[in-house]
Amino acid sequence: MLNETVFRSGEVPTADRLAYWAERVGRTHAPVRMTSDRAHGFPATQRVLDLGAVSVWPATFRQLVIRRTPKLIRRSDPELFHLSLLVDITPTEYRSRAAAAGTSPRC
């Protein structure tokens, strides 16, 4: 049986949306630290499809910077494998955004 949950940031107070989004991604994917120059009213949606051993979660969200510190990495389950596929972003945009954030893209 397909188990599905849906999240829409509009259900969260405007000032709390980015923090709540980071918490939610931390539960469905891996613990992260997020920042955005457009944090106020941050729009995001997520559908989590539980398929047993595999979870799929299509999501839409505004531009942001995601960081995983060593401490956050240690909080993750080492038995899990995460694969993220970004859609509607070109590799050039990704590299430009990473350079602006002071990170090194691996694409």
Is 106 inside a domain boundary? no
Could you tell me the pTM of the whole model? 0.68
Number of separate domains in the chain: 1
Is 65 inside a domain boundary? yes
- Tokens matching residue 68: 């995983």
Is 75 inside a domain boundary? yes
Is 23 inside a domain boundary? yes
pLDDT in tens, 39-64: 888 999 999 888 888 888 888 888 88
pLDDT band, very low/low/confident/very high, at 95 (cuts 50, 70, 90) = low
pLDDT band, very low/low/confident/very high, at 14 (cuts 50, 70, 90) = very high
Is 58 inside a domain boundary? yes
15 versus 100: which is more confidently predicted? 15
Question: Which pLDDT value is given to residue 6?
Answer: 92
Is 107 inside a domain boundary? no
Question: Which pLDDT value is given to residue 107?
Answer: 44
The residue range of the domain holding 55 is 3-101
pLDDT band, very low/low/confident/very high, at 10 (cuts 50, 70, 90) = very high
Question: Which pLDDT value is given to residue 65?
Answer: 86
